[in-house]
């Protein structure tokens, strides 16, 4: 799969430095999702999941994704600086468990900590080992980790 296309998408997103509790959206069209195609972005100093709806997955497969939005500059320094070291350490451990080489799969969303299926999550961007990474935590795990701002 085309990592450059995934990177081009992420570079157009409005990444939030503070965690936000919300549902999931297609990484391309923004449609609200309960299930999605899950891809891994592993280039450009990112390690992060990218989610596609069925329609955008088809476009991605045939290289027909259009890039209408301009690229947004990302000031990486502020992502995750307020998290305690214990949370940053836990995030590093979560990344070690991810299979970043897996083929894209269509599935429900899971909490990155407890692996429970979820429809809403704390979406948390953090700089981990020089890679900007988005984590998803269920409400319960987010509260245990004191994620919310």
Residue 53 lies in a domain: yes
Tell me: pLDDT of 53 over 70: yes
Whole-angstrom Cα distance, residue 41 to residue 30? Answer: 18
Residue 84 lies in a domain: yes
The closest of 70, 33, 77, 78 to 51, measured between CA atoms, is 33
pLDDT value of position 113: 96
Whole-angstrom Cα distance, residue 48 to residue 65? Answer: 19
pLDDT value of position 149: 55
Tell me: pLDDT of 75 over 90: no
This prediction has a pTM of 0.92
pLDDT value of position 1: 59
pLDDT value of position 4: 93
pLDDT value of position 148: 64
Mean per-residue pLDDT of the chain: 92
Domain that holds residue 20: 3-144
Residue 38 lies in a domain: yes
Residue 149 lies in a domain: no
Taking phi over 0 as left and psi of -120 to 50 as alpha, with beta for the rest, 92 belongs to: alpha
Domain total in the chain: 1
pLDDT value of position 71: 81
Helix (H) or strand (E) holding 45: none
- Residues in Cβ contact with 64 at an 8 Å cutoff, skipping those fewer than 6 apart: none
Please say whether the beta carbons of 66 and 29 come within 8 A. Answer: no
Residue 107 lies in a domain: yes
Residue 26 lies in a domain: yes
Task: Give pLDDT tens digits for 98-129.
Answer: 999 999 999 999 999 999 999 999 999 999 98
Mean pLDDT of 17-29: 95
């Amino acid at each position: 799969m085309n990592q450059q296309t995934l990177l081009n998408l992420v570079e157009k997103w409005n990444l939030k430095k503070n965690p936000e509790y919300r549902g999931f959206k297609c990484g391309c069209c923004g449609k609200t999702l309960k299930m999605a195609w899950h891809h891994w972005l592993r280039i450009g100093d990112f390690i992060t999941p990218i989610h596609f709806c069925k329609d955008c997955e088809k476009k991605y497969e045939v290289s027909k994704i259009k890039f209408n939005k301009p690229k947004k500059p990302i000031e990486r320094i502020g992502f995750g600086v307020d998290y305690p070291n214990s949370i940053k350490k836990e995030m590093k451990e979560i990344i070690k468990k991810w299979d970043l080489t897996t083929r894209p799969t269509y599935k429900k969303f899971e909490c990155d900590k407890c692996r429970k299926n979820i429809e809403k999550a704390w979406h948390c961007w953090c700089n981990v080992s020089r890679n900007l990474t988005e984590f998803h935590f269920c409400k319960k795990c987010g509260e245990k980790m004191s994620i919310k701002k």
